[in-house]
Amino acid sequence: MKIAVLGYGTIGSGVVEVINTNAGSIAKRSGETVEVKYVLDLRDFFGDPVQDILVHDYSVIAEDDEIGVVVETMGGTKPAYDFVKTALLKGKSVCTSNKELVAAHGAELIQIAAEKKVNFFFEASVGGGIPIIRPINQCITADEIEEINGILNGTTNFILTKMSEQGLDFADVLKEAQELGYAEKDPTADVEGYDACRKIAILTSLAYGKQVDYEDIYTEGITKITAEDFTYAKKVNSAIKIFGTSKKVGDHVYAMVAPRMVGSDHPLYSVNGVFNGISVTGNMLGDVMFYGAGAGKLPTASAVAADVVAAVKHQGEHVPITWSKDKLEITPVDEMENRFFVRVGESEKSKIAEQFGGVEMIDAGIAGECGFITSPLQEKTFAEKAKQFTTLITRIRVQS
């Protein structure tokens, strides 16, 4: 099997490395040898052996009938979407790590792959090296999925873990993370939750078999989390994590990305540093958890290369993925129930019981303010009550 890799960045070069390093076992598992015939990139890589197979023009790959599998590791949707669609229409399978592409066009690309009897695989698009797409699509198939909670972004988990361990504020840890190469120069997609939003959109689409538009998912990042919030969290044996969540309640599907206070008895409490963890709850299965390296060159490339093995094994046969183009209506987050951790100025202490009834007060020893946890409330009810406080400092949802 001859394959082509689009994009020779961190992940693309990792895929070439995995395929070369593990050529023997990959051949055994695929049923034939797998050879990278082309790498597409705008740049040159003089001195790197890849230079010999480098092309700058995608049509060389698209027009070559010998290429049976295209690996797309360029990121973004332009030109990745056109390249991937062209490959599928020409009868080539595609394996991608690109969550933007999958979240925006997954259903359409799966449909084209089905029509052409090829495959569109995207294991690496969520959770990096953690198997999660195939388990949802092929293993947890006898359950109604009731809930998914995921720490889906390594950068923000690294930042929150450091803040917790060192008592530092967000801005200081972000700077350190950028210096260490864990956060990008422009960290917006990670710290504002947009990356996790694409990933929970993909998981929710797979869990319920319909297209979830990521624009419909309420998304809140971690930029407002402070060292003081962690002081409170520790008083109640909790961590603060950013979760991608989707939850089915009756006929309603809720989805959101937001920071959460997570108790030490929760399976995701101990997922620290750059690691990711995803907990899936099925109505028969109960909870199952997936944990591992959610980002990074070789872990992510390992998942892409495993998709290549699957694509080679299933030549001439489409492996169905339950994700139709029909839109899944996400219930407005206003109606979702959560408990909330709240900080208000001490001057408004008397209003707490008035607005929220019985609450769990937390004494973190911080002068001039009060912290407490409410009972479960609808988001809109909480928002109304919170408006009554002129000294509201923050509010963070509390994971049940």
Query: Shortest gap between Cβ of 319 and ligand HSE (angstroms)?
Result: 23
Q: Which is nearer to ligand HSE, 14 or 128 (CB)?
A: 128
Is residue 154 at the binding interface for ligand HSE, with CB under 6 A as the rule? Answer: yes
Residue with Cβ nearer ligand HSE (149 or 155) = 155
Interface with ligand HSE includes 295 (CB under 6 A)? Answer: yes
Query: Using CB under 6 A, which of 96, 155, 219, 399 touches ligand HSE?
Result: 155
Cα dihedral sign for 87, 88, 90, 94? Answer: positive
Which pair of tokens denotes residue 384? 């109304």
Q: Which stretch binds ligand HSE (CB under 6 A): 153-161, 169-177, 277-285, 308-316?
A: 153-161
Least distance (Å) between residue 201 CB and ligand HSE:
13
Q: Which is nearer to ligand HSE, 127 or 282 (CB)?
A: 127
**Pairwise CA distance, residues 63 & 90, whole Å:** 8
Task: State the residue for tokens 């219930």.
Answer: 331
Q: How far is the CB of 80 from ligand HSE (least distance, A)?
A: 15
Cβ closest to ligand HSE, residue 218 vs residue 275:
275
Per DSSP (E only), the strands in 313-368 are 337-345, 360-362
Q: Give the shortest CB-118-to-ligand HSE separation in angstroms.
A: 25
Shortest CB 277 distance to ligand HSE, Å: 12
| Least Cβ distance, residue 227 to ligand HSE (angstroms) | 22
Residue choice 13, 96, 153, 238 for contact with ligand HSE (CB under 6 A): 153
Query: Residue 347 and residue 344: Cα distance in Å, rounded?
Result: 8
Q: Which of residues 75-134 bind ligand HSE (CB under 6 A)?
A: 128
Please state, in angstroms and rounded to a whole number, the distance separating the CA atoms of residues 304 and 310.
10
Catalytic choice (199, 210, 247, 385): 199
Closest to ligand HSE by CB, 34 vs 124, is 124
| Binder of ligand HSE out of 41, 72, 100, 190 (CB under 6 A) | 190
Q: Which stretch binds ligand HSE (CB under 6 A): 72-80, 147-155, 248-256, 349-357?
A: 147-155
Decide if 199 is catalytic.
yes
Which stretch in 47-55, 149-157, 323-331, 339-347 sits in contact with ligand HSE by CB under 6 A?
149-157
| Strand partners for 94 | 70, 120
Could you give the CA distance from residue 76 to residue 316 in angstroms, rounded to a whole number?
A: 29
Q: Hey, what amino acid is at 190?
A: D
Torsion of CA 105, 247, 156, 73, to 10 degrees: -20
Cα angle for residues 238, 242, 246 (degrees, 5° grid)? 110
The string of DSSP letters for 124-154 reads GGTTTTS--HHIIIIIS-SS-EEEEEEE--H
Q: Which of 100, 195, 307, 369 binds ligand HSE (CB under 6 A)?
A: 195
Residue 379 in the binding site for ligand HSE (CB under 6 A): no
The residue count for binding ligand HSE (CB under 6 A) is 8
**Amino acid letter, 192:** E
- Which residues are 72's β-sheet partners? 6, 96
Please report how close the Cβ of residue 183 comes to ligand HSE at its closest, in angstroms. 8
Alpha helices, H only, the chain: 10-21, 23-30, 58-62, 80-89, 99-115, 133-134, 154-166, 170-179, 188-191, 194-208, 227-235, 297-313, 349-356, 379-386
The span of 64-72, 80-88, 150-158, 361-369 binding ligand HSE (CB under 6 A) equals: 150-158
CA distances from 167 to 163, 225, 335 (A): 5, 12, 34
82: exposed, middle or buried (C-beta count within 10 Å: 0-12, 13-18, 19+)? exposed
Q: CB nearest ligand HSE: which residue?
A: 155
- Please select the residue that binds ligand HSE; options are 68, 150, 294, 299, rule is CB under 6 A: 294
d(CA 191, CA 206): 25
Residue number with CB closer to ligand HSE (223 or 231): 223
Q: What torsion do the CA atoms of 230, 234, 239, 242 make, to the nearest 10 degrees?
A: -30
Smallest gap from Cβ 128 to ligand HSE, in A, equals 6
| Residues marked as catalytic | 199
Q: Which parts of this chain interact with ligand HSE (CB under 6 A)?
A: 128, 153-155, 190, 195, 294-295
